[in-house]
Chains A and B, each alone.
Chain A
Amino acid sequence: MLAKRIKPMALQARRLYVETMFQVMGRALQAVSEVDRSVQEEARALPDGFLFEMTVMPNGPKLVVEHQGDGRFQYLTSEPPRPVDLSIQFKHIAHAFLVVSFQEKTSVAFANDRMLVDGDIDRAIRMTRILNRLEAFILPKLIAERAVKEYPQSLGLPEKVLSAARIYLKVATHFVETARAS
């Protein structure tokens, strides 16, 4: 009886967790593109105005970022102004949860057919590299190793801590600005 009552709450909590993580990741993508040169270099290859979406099928949570040019992303808090150029779609909220709770690496989720790519596959690979770089920065090494295929050996502790602090500060500021605006 108790289990029956708890289950819907657990599912609701899972959905809420994915939604929250998408909001954090979207803002963190914007922040890391302002902080890290490697990410900027990767992003510069994308056309200006390029819209990237990560979403859950059929109408689940989503994050959308736009390449503003010069390697900078902007997280969009409202509906995108035009159809997105690249969409990575999780087939189910459970699959998105596995990835954003770092139980399954992004590359393994691709290999396990947890998600679909709608758009140019070259750009999906590039965006995955950017997401990996972001995760290596903002997650403690032990957790980041569960999220990415291989933790970058070249990423030293001072660079990681400094960049992570700047990214988190920018994410927090963005959350506050969004709250004030609404």
Chain B
Amino acid sequence: MSQHYYEFFCPVKVVAGKAALEHIPYELSGLSASRPMVITDKGVRGAGLLDPVIEACEEGGQEIVTIFDDVPPDSSKEVVRQIASAYREAKCDSIIAIGGGSPIDTAKAVNILVSEGGDDIAAYAGAGVLKRPLRPFFVVPTTAGTGSEVTAVAVIADTEKSVKLPFTSSFLLPNAAIIDPRMTLTLPPHVTAMTAMDAMTHATEAFTCLAKNPLSDAHATAAVRKISTNLPRVMENPKDSDARLELAQASTMAGIAFSNSMVGMVHSLGHATGAICHLPHGLCMSLFLPYVLEYNLEAIREPLGELLLYMAGPDVYATTPTSRRAETCIAAIRKLRDQLWQYCELPRTLQETGKVSEDQLEAIAHSALDDGTIMFNPKETSIEDIRNVLRRAWG
């Protein structure tokens, strides 16, 4: 009897496509919410991305009670406390997060405080602390990459203790994720490329790491197909709203996949490099993906070969011998990275970033070895293995 076992959970309603924002008033009313607070950052407001949300709500008879638009890139306990206080003062009853990873994580933490009470978010840190549903919560992503709109985790910095507080609970998941092509239409090419490669990595690792399962596989393969087809289209023509929507949906699908099957060593290295060298997460993912796949090759030959169908299309898949499909899949990823270098000079090696020095590699290796995601990597990884991958990624 097979020992295989898996769990899959995603209760988030996905509201996606043309005029999706205009569904917000109806969705709020369906949860008996009428006084939403918007949580976002200066970048989103500066890019004019609040306007279509506010217009859609006001036209639908839904007032936005208050807006907090000053979420920093690394949100802290203090910021969460401040926003929760503003929420209570304005007597809000629901939250709409608009932005990338930071506003979404911050809004998840704020929702804990305003639902459970108290001022200290640290009291709710850890796994499984929350025991009941929180206030109505919607997410409008403005990047196509993190997948935070469908993940049950949030990370908030405790600046006093210099630690990052993790929060894990299915109650952190939003009631709805609103995917509207208008929200990613003005994303700069460099950010578009990085975030799409983040989603590509989520999907690829979800499909090749230890906790892969049939349901996450379905989401992962669909996401890979959408990204490999539509990322070059968007880089060619950033105003292609159909291709933008495809990327945004792919990001959500990749998010559903990896939140149910976890990720591996690309993320271990990415988390470590991001923390030590302050490189954007998506860039780290793009940097390390082919090198880690090469390292894992013999352990993932079968799924990686299968992924070629979605990465390069049926013609390439059909004309590639089974024994060469995994290598060809890695080659297809390298080709995509070369294209991104042509379009927007997205670095392909650590050296090309110009922000990493060779003497930082040892610290990155040690930090990566202790990262939680290393557990789900299909190959057992030693410090020497990580050093080797880093040397190859150095360039």
Per the bound structure, the CA–CA distance linking A108 and B2 in Å amounts to 13
Tell whether, in the assembled complex, residue A125 and residue B3 are in contact, meaning their CB atoms are under 8 Å apart: no
Per the bound structure, the CA–CA distance linking A112 and B6 in Å amounts to 5
Task: Please report which residues of chain A, range 73-131, place their CB below 8 angstroms from some CB of chain B when the two chains form the complex.
Answer: 98, 103-104, 107-108, 110-114, 116-118, 121-122, 124-126, 128
A70 within 8 A of B: no
A159 within 8 A of B: no
Per the bound structure, the CA–CA distance linking A162 and B370 in Å amounts to 29
B371 within 8 A of A: yes
B35 within 8 A of A: no
Task: Please report which residues of chain A, range 126-148, place their CB below 8 angstroms from some CB of chain B when the two chains form the complex.
Answer: 126, 128, 132, 148
Chain B min CB distance to A99 (Å): 11
Interface residues of B, dominant DSSP: loop
Of the four ranges (under 10, 10 to 19, 20 to 34, 35 or more), the interface on chain A belongs to 20 to 34
Residues of chain B with a CB closer than 8 A to A112's CB: 4-6, 211
Tell whether, in the assembled complex, residue A107 and residue B210 are in contact, meaning their CB atoms are under 8 Å apart: yes
Tell whether, in the assembled complex, residue A111 and residue B374 are in contact, meaning their CB atoms are under 8 Å apart: no
Tell whether, in the assembled complex, residue B375 and residue A104 are in contact, meaning their CB atoms are under 8 Å apart: no
Q: Which of A121, A128, A150 makes the CB contact (< 8 A) with B379?
A: A150
A149 within 8 A of B: yes
Tell whether, in the assembled complex, residue A107 and residue B372 are in contact, meaning their CB atoms are under 8 Å apart: no
Residues of chain A with a CB closer than 8 A to B126's CB: 118
Task: Please report which residues of chain B, range 336-395, place their CB below 8 angstroms from some CB of chain A when the two chains form the complex.
Answer: 369-372, 374-376, 379-380
Chain A min CB distance to B267 (Å): 13
Tell whether, in the assembled complex, residue B370 and residue A111 are in contact, meaning their CB atoms are under 8 Å apart: no
Per the bound structure, the CA–CA distance linking A28 and B136 in Å amounts to 50
Per the bound structure, the CA–CA distance linking A128 and B380 in Å amounts to 12
Per the bound structure, the CA–CA distance linking A112 and B5 in Å amounts to 6
Residues of chain B with a CB closer than 8 A to A116's CB: 127-128
- 10 pairs from A and B in contact (CB 8 Å cutoff): A103-B3, A110-B210, A110-B376, A111-B209, A112-B211, A113-B5, A116-B127, A118-B126, A122-B371, A122-B372
The 6 A-B pairs at the shortest CB distance, nearest first, are namely A150-B380, A111-B211, A121-B372, A111-B210, A149-B380, A122-B370
